[in-house]
Structure 1
């Protein structure tokens, strides 16, 4: 099943509960605009290289569109379309005045030099600068991009449109970025994991936890959850799964990763090393956080999942068929459109600060993030309990209902 088809499946389940008519469902689901561009750059060896870039703008009924920019070999129009759609519901679930968008380039950034990535970023901006902006569509970091890429993006965009740091979020703090933005997605995952576990009557210190993916989201989630007394028994990256039945020494794991030339855990010896896909099937894991890429839990491998709780740190990690099986088994799943919304929430704070020309303290950013995530969780939880539905369907219902209402209020329907 393709990514957008999976998103549509979850959308339709929620739309059924809301009794939205078919024509309106189609209007809410289909993106407003899809852009595909050729991005050509000169490589360091003087040769020409061609890449394909995308920007999908899904919906702006609730405000300017917001969504990340990813550099990854698997980026294609279907994936970007699905992620843009998810961003619309995500911003609505946490009640931010945004719509959804997403962008990306099909490229493996690990095979490019820093200067080649800069040229690629600037060439992409040259192609899309006229359709993004602080009042229309505001990009942010995603897989394969970071604060440096955001700084290049902003600099190139301002060559066309003049000074306005609110055009993009996730910038370096020195370049009008927000304190706490880098940790935001992982911290949000941690906040809601702790809240969900307690709501289910489980104790953190007795709940073994595993995190698939040890990039930005996974590392910050691991740090927060370790400090919250969870035994983090396993983490994984592209070099393998690193497992200790009594819990990993997360501060030591983080120090090792920072010192590794490629930011990996390769060679870490204070635990047992297993194959990369072994993490999903560990039998002593109570809480599983897939925080790598989408589509990792499928109908083919779902029988090997033993966790009682899954918190979706990545976008779309559980496919619909697997989701149904897990729900039938009583597994509680906190969906991506709520669980990993910490990043877009602090991106919103950054955008607000840029518009106000005023910088918040880290304590204020964290306080506002905690408040926003907790409020959204309570709304989703209560909706789930009231209608006897999954947390995923409840979150989609809330997001879709808010966008539907905004669309009606704008006078776009009869």
Structure 2
């Protein structure tokens, strides 16, 4: 199968099959995990500001609930497809499994360009989506969270709508995570995924006999994940030499001022183009060829292809995005000796801290910022060690090792439930 014909869901299935074969698990394990348990497609009517009504298509996929309720984000993006959402739900199951969370994977998406909607139209769309998927979600069943182009405000609207639909006369904050701190959210949740990406970069550097303080790092994508990944890389002492988004790539061999670029981006419609600090502005595609020691792809899936992989000079890659590396590209990078931390481990910080938020909501007791980050670090470093041990024991790459750890954690509850 050529790279061009591989969609994200088929990539996820291929990764799963390779790991099941390496683990020697029963065929039933692969069969049960290769398809989601539930795929809901909905049509959402939204009254626009000009009085017209538009229809939007949305999805909610629940992959596997053997270990507990399902969990996963909701993205608003014009490129959303059913297979993409199925793939993301599948990866979320393994992400929860590899870091030992009592969740299965889920994902949601709406086909929409949110940049062309007003705030009121976005609110109506958010509430309409919740009304459509309400029968299959809930704080003990499936807990959504933010993803691409959704945020704390989106979750607040969704909590409000869902609570009204349930008709219990009270707010149900544990039904969604990624909420604003002022509305039941968790401190350090906004930073969690990017922080985790750099925790894994730091641990990978240690494993390879390097020090992150001596590293030059490039980050592709400057949304929530990429911007915080770059910020924490700098905080850990690394030199961030390049960042990119959809508008351009900013480069300075002596290091960028990440905090200043983050401030500029917030004031410039979330774009980094036109930044006047000390750096060169290049075409966004140049990010792949930057001279660096660590590279963090934090944009969308399939950004590292058989073509772009040939440009990458980094020794370590930590996948901040979901599915950013195609199988062909990964094969090339591994042959070249690149140490690659897979997405289901590298970007698991978001779901880990979402789990913390859910626990706090259920108990109505909240932790300090530093407590949350300490707990996240313990979870992720423990998972890193487990994956490294599996990698060395089985003589496989990090992705296969991460899947081995995750599948072992999933197979037992499915077996005990009598699913096979």
**TM-score scaled by length of structure 1:** 0.98
Q: Which residue among 79, 98, 102 is the counterpart of 1:97? A: 102
User: What residue in structure 2 maps to residue 181 of structure 1?
Assistant: 189
Please tell me whether residue 166 in structure 1 is matched to residue 178 in structure 2: no
User: What residue in structure 2 maps to residue 306 of structure 1?
Assistant: 313
Question: What's the secondary structure of 2:63's corresponding residue?
Answer: strand
Please tell me whether residue 199 in structure 1 is matched to residue 204 in structure 2: no
**Matched ranges for 1:360-399 at <5 A:** 360-399=367-406
User: What residue in structure 2 maps to residue 244 of structure 1?
Assistant: 252
Q: Is the 8 A contact 2:201 2:212 kept in 1?
A: no
Tell me by how many angstroms 1:314 deviates.
0.3
**Matched ranges for 1:142-153 at <5 A:** 142-153=147-158
Tell me by how many angstroms 1:258 deviates.
2.6
Tell me by how many angstroms 1:20 deviates.
2.0
**Matched ranges for 1:60-75 at <5 A:** 60-75=65-80
Distance 2:243 2:299 in 1: 11
Which contiguous aligned blocks of 4+ residues in structure 1 show a shift greater than 4 angstroms?
none
Distance 2:243 2:198 in 1: 15
User: What residue in structure 2 maps to residue 225 of structure 1?
Assistant: 233
Tell me by how many angstroms 1:205 deviates.
3.1
Q: Is the 8 A contact 1:28 1:404 kept in 2?
A: no
Q: Count residues with an aligned counterpart.
A: 411
**Matched ranges for 1:346-357 at <5 A:** 346-357=353-364
Distance 1:285 1:251 in 2: 20
CA-atom RMSD, angstroms? 1.0
User: What residue in structure 2 maps to residue 51 of structure 1?
Assistant: 56
User: What residue in structure 2 maps to residue 287 of structure 1?
Assistant: 294
Tell me by how many angstroms 1:139 deviates.
0.1
Question: What's the secondary structure of 1:35's corresponding residue?
Answer: strand
Gaps of 5+ in 2: 1-5
1:362-403 deviation digits (Å, cap 9, x = unpaired): 121111111111111111111111211111100011111111
Q: Which residue among 389, 398, 403 is the counterpart of 2:410? A: 403
Question: What's the secondary structure of 1:59's corresponding residue?
Answer: coil
Tell me by how many angstroms 1:300 deviates.
2.8
User: What residue in structure 2 maps to residue 26 of structure 1?
Assistant: 31
Question: What's the secondary structure of 2:206's corresponding residue?
Answer: helix
User: What residue in structure 1 maps to residue 146 of structure 2?
Assistant: 141
**Matched ranges for 1:27-42 at <5 A:** 27-42=32-47
Distance 1:210 1:334 in 2: 15
Tell me by how many angstroms 1:13 deviates.
1.2
User: What residue in structure 1 maps to residue 216 of structure 2?
Assistant: 208
Tell me by how many angstroms 1:7 deviates.
0.8
Tell me by how many angstroms 1:27 deviates.
1.2
1:110-160 deviation digits (Å, cap 9, x = unpaired): 111111100000011111111100111000000010000000000000011
Distance 1:252 1:37 in 2: 41
Distance 1:286 1:180 in 2: 27
Gaps of 5+ in 1: none
**TM-score scaled by length of structure 2:** 0.96
User: What residue in structure 2 maps to residue 13 of structure 1?
Assistant: 18
Tell me by how many angstroms 1:347 deviates.
0.3
Q: Is the 8 A contact 2:202 2:211 kept in 1?
A: no
